[in-house]
Amino acid sequence: MRKNIADVLKNPGTALPLDFEADMSDIELYGERIFPDPVRVTGEVRNRAGLVTVEADVYAVGRASCARCLEPAEFVCDIPLDLTVTENAENAELEDYVYVEGDMLDLHGVVRDELILSCDMVILCQPDCRGLCSRCGKNLNAGDCDCVVQEVDPRLAGLAELLARQQERNDTDREV
Ligand SMILES: [Zn+2]
Ligand SMILES: [Zn+2]
């Protein structure tokens, strides 16, 4: 994702199109390589009266296991980039700046960081994935299982347990 942008840097009022395919297959989430396919970056670098900017769009299809049912899930990352080009090394670490050394624009690091940030979410195979039965492990998207799951309000779980123990004791008393 490197391009010599010397002409744009020197000439206000000019622009250069950007079109890259990048290999981001080294990015891992929970041990899975989530961007096995090339990531596309398109846009332009433009010089407006000496202010040089990069406006681009990062497009990637991510693949991971669904957080609920563990089946393969696909998600799309479509991230706009709006960066100011700086040739001053002191600004290199500033947010929304991209440091250009020796006229070479290199977006690899920026795009990689943006993709990693965009993965900071729960990945599901479908928004309403029903997940796996906590008892038998069946994928509930394929239909209900035979387990009778009693939904107990966690705030009442303690009380329910107490009542059950009470009931047990009563039963034992009666047997005596
Ligand atoms: Zn799922
Ligand atoms: Zn079940």
Number of independent structural domains in the chain: 2
Domain hosting 34: range is 2-118
In sequence order, what are the residues at sequence separation of 6 or more whose Cβ sits closer than 8 angstroms to the Cβ of residue 63? 32, 34, 35, 36, 72, 73, 74, 75
- Averaged in consecutive runs of 10 residues, what is the pLDDT profile of the chain (176 residues)? 95 97 92 93 97 97 94 93 93 89 93 87 91 94 83 64 71 60
* Interior/surface letters 71-101, b for 16+ CB within 10 angstroms, e for the rest: eebebebebebebebeeeeeeeeeeebbbbe
The residue ranges of DSSP E strands in 66-126, in sequence order, are: 72-86, 97-99, 104-106
Nearest ligand, CA of residue 137? 2
Nearest ligand, CA of residue 67? 1
- 144 vs 69: CA distance, rounded Å: 14
Give me the half-sphere count of Cα atoms (radius 13 Å) on the Cβ side of residue 170.
6
User: Given this model, what pLDDT does residue 42 score?
Assistant: 98
Measured in Å, residue 28 CA sits from the centre of ligand 1 at: 19
- 168 and 82 housed in the same domain: no
- 144 and 113 housed in the same domain: no
- 152 and 112 housed in the same domain: no
Residues with CB under 5 A from ligand 1 (ion): 66, 68-69, 125, 129
Within-domain flag for 132: no
Measured in Å, residue 38 CA sits from the centre of ligand 1 at: 25
User: Given this model, what pLDDT does residue 95 score?
Assistant: 87
Within-domain flag for 126: no
Nearest ligand, CA of residue 129? 1
Residues 77-109 have pLDDT tens digits of: 999 999 999 999 888 888 899 999 999 999 999
- 16 and 92 housed in the same domain: yes
* Interior/surface letters 12-37, b for 16+ CB within 10 angstroms, e for the rest: eeebbebebebebeebeeeeeebbee
Residues 34-46 have pLDDT tens digits of: 999 999 999 999 9
What six digits make up the tokens of 102?
A: 């020796």
Radius of gyration of the chain measured on its C-alpha atoms: 27
User: Given this model, what pLDDT does residue 68 score?
Assistant: 95
- 64 vs 119: CA distance, rounded Å: 10
- 49 and 112 housed in the same domain: yes
Question: Do you know the residue count of the chain?
Answer: 176
